[in-house]
C-alpha cells in the first residue's frame, strides 16, 4: 500500500491506489472541502473520480457528503458513489466520473449562452432541485461549478455535485434569528440572502441561488460582481445589501420577462413554503415554445465542438 501525500501537499504519483482498485492519475478539481482526482479502475480500466479529505478534518465533511449521496441515490443527475473508506491518512470517496461544469462550458462558449441553452439548463436544474428537496435535502451551495455534465449516453444530463454543505431540511423547523456577526454559507456571488446572513436556509434559498445563475448566463455577469470594497467581509456585505435592494428588472437586465416572473415567485415564498416547481418549469417551457426552439439537447457547447471538429477535418 502506497503512502499518500502529507496534509499540506498535493498527490503527484500516478501509481497510488485507493482500496487496491483505483489508481490515482492527477488532480482535476477541488476546493476548501477536499481535492478531486481522476483515477482508473485497474480491473476494468474505466475512469472514476476520487475525492480525498485529510483525516485531520473533524467532523468529516466527506462522510456527511457520502451519506447525502446515498439518500439521493437513483435520482436523475445524481452521481453514483462506488466506494468510501480510509486510505492511509485520507478518507476517500470514489464516484462516477463526470464531464465539465456549467462554469467551464460557459467560459468555453465565451461567457455567452443563448436563450435556448439557458432555458434547457433551467428546466433540468429546477427538476434536480425538486428531486433533492423531495428527499428533505437542501444543497446550500448552488453555483455553476457544482453542476456537471454527464458522459457518454448521459452526456446531455446535468448532475448535481459537491454536497458537502447540504443538510437535512425540515419544513416545520422555525428559521433562526440572524446573528450579530453573520458568517457566509455558500459561494458569495450566488448565495441567497439567508446564506449571507448565516441563518437557517430552506428550499427557497436553493431556488433563489438558481435565480441568480440564470441571468448570469444570459448577461455574462451579475450587478454585484464589481465592488470597491477593501476587505472580503466588506465585499460580502455589499453583495448582500445589493441582493436585498436590487429590483428584479435590474437583476434580469434585458432577459425575457419570464426570468422576472421566476424571481418574483421565489421572493414571495416564506421559509417553510413548498415551491411551485411545476409552475416554474411551465413558465420557462412556455417561453421555449413561444420562441419556437426545439428541445433537442443541442446546447451552445455542442454546436461549438461540432464546428471546431469540422474545421479540423477541413484542414486535413
Domain definitions of the chain by residue range: 17-96, 100-300
Query: Is 141 known to be catalytic?
Result: yes
**Cell matching residue 126:** 429546477
Q: Are 147 and 160 in contact (CB under 8 A)?
A: yes
Whole-model pTM: value is 0.93
Query: Residue 115: pLDDT band by 50, 70, 90 thresholds?
Result: very high
Contacts of 143 (CB under 8 A, 6+ apart): 103, 186, 187, 189, 190, 209, 213
CATH superfamily of 17-96: Phosphorylase Kinase; domain 1 (3.30.200.20)
Q: Are 213 and 161 in contact (CB under 8 A)?
A: no
Query: Residue 8: pLDDT band by 50, 70, 90 thresholds?
Result: very low
- Confidence check: pLDDT of 33 > 80: no
- Residue range 178-202, pLDDT digits in tens: 555 567 888 999 999 999 998 899 9
Percent of the chain having pLDDT more than 70?
Answer: 91
**Cβ atoms within 10 Å, residue 109:** 17
d(CA 157, CA 159): 6
Q: Are 19 and 91 in contact (CB under 8 A)?
A: no
Domain 100-300, CATH: 1.10.510.10
Catalytic one of 15, 35, 104, 141: 141
Average pLDDT (97-110) is: 98
> What's 263's DSSP letter?
H
Nearest to 63 by CA among 163, 201, 160, 202: 163
Q: Do the annotations mark residue 244 as ligand-binding?
A: no
d(CA 124, CA 162): 17
- Confidence check: pLDDT of 9 > 80: no
Strands 90-96 and 47-54: antiparallel
Amino acid at each position: 500500500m502506497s503512502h499518500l501525500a502529507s496534509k499540506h501537499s498535493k498527490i503527484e504519483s500516478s501509481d497510488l491506489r485507493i482500496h487496491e482498485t483505483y489508481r490515482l492519475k492527477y488532480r482535476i478539481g477541488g476546493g476548501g472541502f477536499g481535492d478531486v482526482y481522476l483515477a482508473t479502475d485497474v480491473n476494468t480500466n474505466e475512469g472514476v473520480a476520487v475525492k480525498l479529505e485529510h483525516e485531520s478534518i473533524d467532523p468529516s465533511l466527506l462522510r456527511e457528503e457520502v451519506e447525502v449521496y446515498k439518500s439521493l441515490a437513483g435520482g436523475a443527475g445524481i452521481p453514483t458513489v462506488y466506494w468510501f473508506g480510509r486510505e492511509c491518512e485520507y478518507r476517500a470517496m470514489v464516484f462516477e466520473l463526470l464531464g465539465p461544469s456549467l462554469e467551464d462550458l460557459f467560459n468555453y462558449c465565451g461567457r455567452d449562452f443563448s436563450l435556448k441553452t439557458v432555458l434547457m439548463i433551467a428546466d433540468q436544474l429546477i427538476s434536480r432541485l425538486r428531486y433533492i428537496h423531495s428527499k428533505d435535502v437542501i444543497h446550500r451551495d448552488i453555483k455553476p461549478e457544482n453542476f456537471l455534465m454527464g458522459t457518454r449516453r448521459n452526456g446531455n444530463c446535468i448532475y448535481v455535485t459537491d454536497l458537502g454543505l447540504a443538510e437535512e431540511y425540515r419544513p416545520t423547523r422555525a428559521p433562526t434569528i440572524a446573528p450579530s456577526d453573520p458568517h457566509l454559507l455558500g459561494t458569495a456571488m450566488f448565495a441567497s440572502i439567508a446564506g449571507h446572513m448565516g441563518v437557517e436556509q430552506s428550499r427557497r434559498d436553493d431556488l433563489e441561488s438558481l435565480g441568480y445563475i440564470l441571468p448570469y448566463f444570459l448577461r455574462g455577469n451579475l450587478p454585484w460582481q464589481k465592488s470597491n470594497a477593501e476587505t472580503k467581509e466588506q465585499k460580502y456585505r455589499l453583495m448582500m445589501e445589493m441582493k436585498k435592494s436590487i429590483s428584479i428588472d435590474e437583476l434580469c437586465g434585458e432577459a425575457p420577462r419570464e426570468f422576472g416572473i421566476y424571481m418574483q415567485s421565489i421572493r414571495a415564498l416564506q421559509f417553510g413554503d413548498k415551491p411551485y416547481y411545476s409552475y416554474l418549469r411551465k413558465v420557462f417551457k412556455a417561453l421555449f415554445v413561444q420562441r419556437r426552439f426545439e428541445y433537442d439537447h443541442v446546447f451552445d457547447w455542442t454546436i461549438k465542438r461540432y464546428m471546431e471538429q469540422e474545421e479540423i477535418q477541413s484542414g486535413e
